[in-house]
């Protein structure tokens, strides 16, 4: 267990330091209007938190000790690939089509939206990452779908300050604990890096100075999805895929924000650390 704990601590620290360094470097330069958004208060915030998370997490995973070459490459591919596609949607995406149904409906009409590009692109990077850590075609398909689905699901929670990172921490925490109990140093490092990077950027997110955007949220979900499929057994991976699919389908009909607001416990967690409305 000591080796797994050291791997987790090293991964979390590397992820946090790299993400903070990337955020500082990106925001130190004159901000491009393309990366700025106006929030519900009429205040300007930056989307550069997303690229900072991607650069920090992918950079930390590239040098994290103890990771096999294939797991390292899969992590960099999943994080950087989904992050780059998310950034494309952040910069060039429109609001005319939303959700899987909206983007696929537009595609059926011959209109290729940025969201459709992202859906298929993240699907491809998810499969590519899964192929590096899976045994056989079936595992590759299941794992790839889980990675891509997790990337999309994390983005669906990025609608309020700090929410996507909190969801990532709540989902990744038990997975990290399971890895430590099983003495799985590789899994522990894969989980700890994105958790450390996300936690390091949480203050700016909660303070409404910055947001993950599609780039950061997609990368966070993809990396946690990869960590999950790398550590879970077959039943666990099927359960993960089913849960991700069910929540994604539910998001087409139900507002997660309304569900959270209606539940006192979830609402309290959601508001923790945020500025008053």
Q: What is the pLDDT of residue 70?
A: 96
CA-to-CA distance for 123 and 130, rounded, in angstroms?
10
CA-to-CA distance for 18 and 191, rounded, in angstroms?
15
Helix axes 213-231, 185-206, angle to 10 degrees: 160
Q: What is the pLDDT of residue 36?
A: 86
Strands (E), 110-160: none
Q: What is the pLDDT of residue 113?
A: 67
CA-to-CA distance for 129 and 122, rounded, in angstroms?
10
Q: What is the pLDDT of residue 252?
A: 85
Q: What is the pLDDT of residue 92?
A: 84
Instruction: Name the CA dihedral angle for 219, 225, 229, 235, rounded to a multiple of 10 degrees.
Output: -160
pLDDT averaged over consecutive 10-residue blocks of the chain (277 residues)?
82 96 88 79 90 97 93 96 93 63 54 69 94 93 96 93 96 94 92 97 95 95 96 93 94 90 94 86
CA-to-CA distance for 186 and 68, rounded, in angstroms?
8
82-115 burial, b for 16+ CB within 10 Å, e for fewer? bbbbbbbbbeebeeebeebebbeebbeeeeebbb
CA-to-CA distance for 241 and 102, rounded, in angstroms?
22
CA-to-CA distance for 253 and 271, rounded, in angstroms?
24
Q: What is the pLDDT of residue 41?
A: 79
């Amino acid at each position: 267990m000591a080796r797994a704990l050291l791997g987790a601590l090293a991964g979390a620290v590397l992820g946090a330091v790299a993400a903070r360094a990337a955020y500082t470097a990106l925001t130190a330069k004159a901000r491009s209007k393309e990366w700025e958004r106006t929030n519900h208060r009429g205040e300007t915030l930056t989307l550069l938190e997303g690229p900072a998370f991607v650069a920090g997490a992918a950079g930390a995973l590239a040098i994290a000790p103890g990771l096999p070459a294939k797991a390292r490459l899969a992590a960099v591919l999943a994080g950087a690939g989904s992050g780059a596609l998310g950034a494309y949607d952040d910069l060039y995406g429109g609001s005319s089509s939303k959700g899987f149904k909206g983007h696929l409906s537009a595609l059926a009409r011959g209109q290729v939206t940025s969201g459709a590009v992202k859906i298929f692109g993240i699907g491809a990077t998810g499969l590519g990452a899964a192929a590096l850590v899976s045994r056989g075609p079936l595992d590759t398909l299941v794992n790839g779908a889980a990675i891509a689905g997790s990337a999309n699901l994390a983005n669906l929670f990025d609608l309020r300050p700090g929410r996507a990172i909190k969801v990532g921490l709540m989902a990744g925490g038990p997975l990290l604990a399971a890895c430590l109990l099983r003495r799985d140093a590789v899994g522990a490092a894969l989980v700890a890096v994105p958790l450390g990077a996300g936690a390091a950027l949480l203050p700016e997110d909660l303070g409404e100075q910055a947001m993950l955007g599609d780039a950061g949220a997609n990368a966070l979900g993809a990396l946690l999805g990869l960590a999950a499929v790398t550590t879970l057994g077959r039943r666990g991976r099927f359960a993960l895929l089913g849960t991700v699919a069910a929540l994604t389908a539910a998001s087409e009909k139900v507002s997660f924000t309304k569900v959270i607001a209606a539940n006192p416990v979830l609402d309290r967690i959601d508001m923790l650390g945020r500025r008053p409305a």
